[in-house]
Chains A and B, each alone.
Chain A
Amino acid sequence: MTASPSSEYLAVVVYIAVALAIGILAVVVGAVLGPKKPGRAKLMPYESGNDPAGEVKRFPVHFYAVAMLFIIFDVEVAFLWPYAVSAGSLGIAGFLGLLVFTVLLFVGFVYEWWKGVMRWR
């Protein structure tokens, strides 16, 4: 079999379809075969017998900060990837260019580190 990229991706699509089918099958089997006796106590959220905690106004901003940092540095990785593949042919100039890019992002990282964004109070 020829290993052309498109046919390999077709295999991935088939894989996803099969995985989805098996997953759905499992859920359907569980839903069909199980006994069904819903009641008020059963439908309550679980909290070790206590009433669930009240309303939460907002979540800590840390989650957002972490997600933001992840996006920034994930984009950095996206840019590093092509260099990593062709590092040798790009030579010293390519390396220096990459270094400038990395240092710029690293300065950003140091800034947020010293600002205490990573401190999980």
Chain B
Amino acid sequence: MITLYILGAASTALTLLGFFVPARVSRWLATGSVAAAIASLLFTWGQRQTAFGGLYVVDPISQSFTLVALLGVLWALLIGRSEKWEFSLLLLYAAAGMHFMASSPNLPVLLIALEVFSLPLYVLATWQRDERGFEAGLKYFLLGALSAAIFLYGIALHFGATGSFNAGAQGSGPLYVAALLLILGALAFKVSLVPFHWWTPDVYQGSPTTVSLMMATAVKAAGFAALVRVLNVQDQGLWGLGLGALIALTVIFGNLGALAQQESKRLLAYSSIAHAGYVGLGLYSGTATAAIGFYLLAYLLSTGLAFAVLAAISQGDVPYERLRGLLYRKPLLGVAMSVGLFSLAGLPPFAGFWGKLLVFLEAAKAQQWGLLVLALITSAVAAYYYLRLFNLVVARGPEARAEEEAALPAPLVGAPVLAGQGTGGLSLATGRLAAWPLMVATALVVLLGILPGLGYRLFSPTPFAALSRPTTASTTLPASFTITSPSDGAELRAGEFSLQGTGRAGETLEVWDNASRIAEVRVGENGGWSLMLPSPPSVGEHIYQVRRPGEGEGPSVRVRVVE
């Protein structure tokens, strides 16, 4: 809640404040607001909250993905500076939209949140007012609008099939499958899964590097938050096949496409497509939040490093040759780039390795062996193009000519070098990148590589479950609805049971696991309901409870989940 207030108030206030203070101050205000939002997020970490009648929910999904998204925005604010304060303002708007995207289980609200963070990005994509920028912005806008339309139609079908606007509502039949496939397709646009990825290389290349960084990290986090909510159901029917096909295509074409690139930003675009495929592997199992959260954090840090180095060289294109010998010319940039590339390639001991390992484990848990093998093979292919870049960074060659030296902005910290002056003051500064964010991010990639538990524990929901256990666990409430199976005190194996109960025919009930609402069920004509758990529960004690929407406690059972 407090995170939302901070982001909302800050973006509203900065809209008018920007008229009175210099752009530099606006940028620091925006950076401070995002940092404060991150702090508030960490301060309330593990607490659950619901507001606006269930339209806004703070839970592990919201917290994990908001953290990654906000870190992405913070990173963009730290490395991008423009003469116009609207640059910071638009990033702030996008941050607010992403937070809401990660925090709403309500599909129409998800669509609005999607637009709230997409519209600023369409503007930011055209920030460098040249032909490339316009092309990027137009492509991004047209395909974004198309995907929003598909999303909207999916929502309509979802409502038709389930009678509920809530993501993850149970349903069946072709209408339900069609709805999930449409929503999957629309969100796949945002996280650029093949074959919905066509815009990605052009847009990442044409946009200013700072903005591409945002699109590659924060947007993906927000998109995957929605995907986790919408697709987080146990029975993988046809949509599971669809997701598998998307992931298989994504890891193959993303990595093969990257092999053929000659330009660093385009390469990172294809790399981000491939990484979206790896993240998708985590969607198969119910404990996805922790694995995907850690993966996205590791990806954010490593690709953030790579993009930041490119942004320091140029906001436009960075052909491979300009990276040659970077390590000797600009040691900090060289080291940061190398660490980023190693982590992206998934080499130990860098954060990216553990990210990949975690999502691969999720795929193994869900027994998606075919996808897993495919991902492993393509991951090995990917090492080639990452290490090729690394090879350039450390190469001492005759190509490191004087004009190449001159092309690289001399000061890493110092006077600003403006790219493309005379474009209406809209261009982004290049080269004046403060050294400390790079150092911190590099250190974090290595630290999370050596001590991955630090990051993983942050995203793992289990430590917090105990904090929010309901205080009363009554089993004697005489209600017109109840849980009949499993029985109270039963010992059950994870992932192998469903909940069953009775109620009034046609009534909609909420099912709670400990203190979080996990699903909605509709009582059938025979007065009974059943629910496959949307996600396999963690090992340990669980209190399952059914409630009438809007009412307090309902009948509950206490069960032990064992391995």
- Which residues of A come within 8 Å of B, CB atoms? 103-104, 107-108, 110-111, 114
Query: Is B368 among interface residues, defined by CB-CB distance under 8 A?
Result: no
Query: Is B15 among interface residues, defined by CB-CB distance under 8 A?
Result: yes
Instruction: Enumerate chain B residues within 8 angstroms of A111, measured Cβ to Cβ.
Output: 15-16
Contact A107 B12 (CB under 8 A): yes
* Separation of A111 and B14 alpha carbons in the complex (Å): 10
Contact B12 A104 (CB under 8 A): yes
Query: Is B19 among interface residues, defined by CB-CB distance under 8 A?
Result: yes
Closest to B18 in A: A111
* Separation of A37 and B15 alpha carbons in the complex (Å): 62
* Separation of A91 and B363 alpha carbons in the complex (Å): 51
Q: What distance in Å separates the Cβ of B182 from its nearest Cβ neighbour in chain A?
A: 26
Instruction: Enumerate chain B residues within 8 angstroms of A110, measured Cβ to Cβ.
Output: 16
- Which residues of B come within 8 Å of A, CB atoms? 12, 15-16, 19
Instruction: Enumerate chain B residues within 8 angstroms of A108, measured Cβ to Cβ.
Output: 15
Interface residues of A, dominant DSSP: helix
Instruction: Enumerate chain B residues within 8 angstroms of A104, measured Cβ to Cβ.
Output: 12
* Separation of A114 and B19 alpha carbons in the complex (Å): 8
Shortest beta-carbon contacts, A-B, top 9:
A111-B15, A107-B15, A114-B19, A107-B12, A110-B16, A107-B16, A104-B12, A111-B16, A108-B15
* Separation of A103 and B19 alpha carbons in the complex (Å): 18
Instruction: Enumerate chain B residues within 8 angstroms of A107, measured Cβ to Cβ.
Output: 12, 15-16
For the A-B complex with A108-B15, A111-B15, A111-B16 known, give 8 more contacts whose Cβ atoms are closer than 8 Å.
A103-B12, A104-B12, A107-B12, A107-B15, A107-B16, A110-B16, A114-B16, A114-B19
* Separation of A107 and B8 alpha carbons in the complex (Å): 12
Q: What distance in Å separates the Cβ of B20 from its nearest Cβ neighbour in chain A?
A: 10
Instruction: Enumerate chain A residues within 8 angstroms of B19, measured Cβ to Cβ.
Output: 114
* Separation of A111 and B12 alpha carbons in the complex (Å): 10
Closest to A114 in B: B19
* Separation of A107 and B15 alpha carbons in the complex (Å): 7
Closest to A103 in B: B12
Instruction: Enumerate chain A residues within 8 angstroms of B12, measured Cβ to Cβ.
Output: 103-104, 107
Instruction: Enumerate chain A residues within 8 angstroms of B15, measured Cβ to Cβ.
Output: 107-108, 111
Closest to A108 in B: B15
11 A-B pairs with CB atoms under 8 Å apart are: A103-B12, A104-B12, A107-B12, A107-B15, A107-B16, A108-B15, A110-B16, A111-B15, A111-B16, A114-B16, A114-B19
Closest to A115 in B: B19
* Separation of A77 and B544 alpha carbons in the complex (Å): 45
Q: What distance in Å separates the Cβ of B96 from its nearest Cβ neighbour in chain A?
A: 11
* Separation of A110 and B447 alpha carbons in the complex (Å): 47
Closest to B19 in A: A114
Q: What distance in Å separates the Cβ of B261 from its nearest Cβ neighbour in chain A?
A: 38
Closest to B20 in A: A114
* Separation of A104 and B116 alpha carbons in the complex (Å): 14
Q: What distance in Å separates the Cβ of B233 from its nearest Cβ neighbour in chain A?
A: 33
Instruction: Enumerate chain B residues within 8 angstroms of A114, measured Cβ to Cβ.
Output: 16, 19
* Separation of A110 and B15 alpha carbons in the complex (Å): 9
Q: What distance in Å separates the Cβ of B258 from its nearest Cβ neighbour in chain A?
A: 40
Instruction: Enumerate chain A residues within 8 angstroms of B16, measured Cβ to Cβ.
Output: 107, 110-111, 114
